[in-house]
């Protein structure tokens, strides 16, 4: 929304690592960057995975991709060897073999969310539209108009560099105020869209809790997987392909797996 309204790429101002690359950032950003680095020692790539908007776009696009790495491209015997191998938590476990029982309460909750969807979307859209004034202040024209307004009203005696530059252009203040008003209107419309979008995502997330396809094999979450390949070496099929394990050893593993399953059953 900020980019579309011309306010700029606000998120770029909060890149925690830009201070290190450019050898310059304010103190708060350095602290933020160092915190992210420290957090990265226990949680894999926290900024890229949970905060970066580009990461979100890549997540969505990855889900649409036709080709994607899989732990093992053809077979999986659910040996679980890869289960803990992904540092990004992108491996989805196979479901239990017992058929899922659809609970009546789940169906009721699903129906309730479905009915409430328009209300939630409208409500969050309305909340988004109410943020127009505060969000639009991040636009340089709107913040300049507010400063000029304060000076014109005599509430501020000292001019800033920006207001001095504006007054030197000879442009009438009214023209600036009209521009700022039009930008605020754009933010109001954008707020509706943004809020409505967040409402839709919220409802879809809730609905997805009640809709589950049964997964018969270990697979990856396409959106969360970074295709680093670290899990491959854990898979016995991959080890056979690489010549690190013989097919006979794999069969032995399969037999053991069957026995374990029988034991569990
Ligand atoms: S390729 Fe990397 S990110 Fe993807 S599931 Fe395997 S270990 Fe995780
Ligand atoms: S290691 Fe390979 S065979 Fe074993 S559960 Fe993972 S993908 Fe399946």
Distance (Å) from CA 163 to ligand 2 centroid: 64
Of the residues 28, 51, 74, which one is the last residue of a structural domain?
51
**Pocket mutation for ligand 1, best pick of 58, 219, 228, 237 (most atoms within 8 Å of C-beta):** 228
Is 144 a domain residue?
Answer: yes
Whose Cα sits closest to atom 2 in ligand 2?
235
Rounded to an integer, the average pLDDT of 175-193 is: 96
Is residue 263 in a domain? no
H runs (alpha helix) in 68-215: 104-130, 132-136, 140-152, 161-169, 173-208
pTM for this entry: 0.68
In a domain, 70, yes or no: no
Structural domain span for residue 37: 1-51
* Ligand showing the shortest atom-to-Cα distance for residue 218: 2
Co-location of 120 and 199 in the same domain: yes
Confidence check: pLDDT of 226 > 70:
yes
- Number of compact structural domains in the chain: 2
Q: Which residue minimizes the CA distance to atom 1 of ligand 2?
A: 235
Q: How close is the Cα of 187 to the center of ligand 2, in Å?
A: 49
Query: Ligand 1 test: best mutation among 230, 232, 235, most atoms within 8 Å of CB?
Result: 230
Same domain, 113 and 173: yes
The pLDDT assigned to 95 comes to: 80
Evaluate whether residue 246 is within a structural domain: no
pLDDT band at 255 (very low <50, low <70, confident <90, very high): low
Which of 74-88, 167-181, 247-261 holds the top average pLDDT? 167-181
In a domain, 169, yes or no: yes
Task: For residues 45 and 118, state if they share a domain.
Answer: no
- As a whole number of angstroms, the distance between CA 6 and CA 140 comes to 9
Whole-number average pLDDT of the chain:
86
Q: Find the range with the poorest average confidence among 14-18, 102-106, 162-166, 243-247.
A: 102-106
Largest CA distance in the chain: 88
């Amino acid at each position: 929304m900020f980019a579309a309204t011309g306010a700029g790429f606000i998120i770029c101002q909060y890149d925690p690592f830009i201070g290190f690359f450019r050898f310059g950032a304010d103190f708060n950003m350095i602290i933020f960057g160092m915190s992210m680095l420290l957090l990265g020692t226990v949680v894999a790539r926290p900024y890229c995975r949970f905060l970066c908007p580009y990461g979100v776009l890549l997540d969505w696009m990855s889900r649409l991709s036709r080709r994607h790495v899989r732990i093992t491209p053809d077979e999986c015997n659910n040996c679980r060897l890869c289960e803990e191998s992904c540092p990004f938590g992108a491996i989805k476990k196979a479901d239990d073999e017992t058929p899922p029982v659809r609970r009546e309460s789940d169906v009721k909750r699903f129906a309730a969310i479905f009915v409430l969807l328009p209300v939630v979307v409208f409500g969050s859209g309305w909340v988004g539209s109410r943020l127009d004034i505060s969000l639009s202040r991040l636009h340089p024209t709107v913040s300049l108009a507010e400063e000029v307004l304060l000076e014109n009203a005599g509430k501020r005696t000292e001019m800033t560099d920006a207001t001095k530059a504006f007054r030197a252009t000879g442009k009438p203040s009214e023209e600036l105020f009209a521009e700022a008003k039009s930008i605020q209107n754009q933010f109001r419309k954008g707020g509706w869209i943004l809020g409505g979008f967040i409402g839709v995502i919220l409802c879809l997330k809730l609905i997805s809790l009640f809709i589950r396809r049964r997964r018969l094999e270990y697979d990856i979450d396409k959106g969360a997987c970074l295709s680093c390949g670290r899990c491959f070496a854990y898979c016995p099929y991959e080890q056979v392909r690489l010549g690190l394990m013989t097919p006979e050893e794999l069969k032995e593993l399969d037999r053991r797996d069957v026995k374990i399953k029988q034991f569990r059953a």
